[in-house]
Structure 1
Amino acid sequence: MKITRCKLNRKIQIKLLEFFIAEVTARTAADLLGIQPNSAALFYRKIRQIIMYHLDQDAIEVFQGQIELDESYFGGARKGKRGRGAAGKVIVFGLLKRNSKVYT
């Protein structure tokens, strides 16, 4: 999948992509590049659609066959409660595809 019917020139597209990666809002990116905010917002939406398309393709591969699910809590140097009530811990959820990769 690729971006189609985009009237922005290639240089501006590349700069918008850099701003997208740097988590700059579409409105701010438009102001910095001197383009209409709606043009930047449309370009950002197209980038998100491409990302969603590729994630869907990966999901089809991941969820075929047998998989195992598990969650765990990491971090929290403080002693105290264990499990879900523990303060300062990060929840990590993982998928294991049999004879393949681990996804977190």
Structure 2
Amino acid sequence: MYNIFSYVIFLCVTSLITIEVGRRCYNAGKHYLNYLIHDADFCLTINKILLGCYYLINLGYIGINLANWENVNSMEQLISVTAQRIGYISLILCFLHFINIFTLYFLRKKLIIK
């Protein structure tokens, strides 16, 4: 019974985090990509591709998390397991976001030098 509550909490929180972070990164990414590339149509295309990949990676990771969920037998374990899984998703989101920013920054520097 605790597993179902844990799944519902996990899915609600990770869905909210995924949608909100994706929306914010998409909106802020327009300006950042415009600053780096100076081509509005190309920036919009890249931004949409990044958003799609972001959602796919998150959905995949959420699915893997649900498939490998351990049995939850108490309320303490429910809070612990759910918080730990949500924390992992948050850390992965931050890591992927910074990889994207640094990759775009270094690609721009490489393009300017040539």
- When normalised by structure 1's length, the TM-score is 0.38
Relative contact order higher in (CA < 8 Å, ≥ 6 apart):
2
* Larger strand fraction of residues: 1
* Larger helix fraction of residues: 2
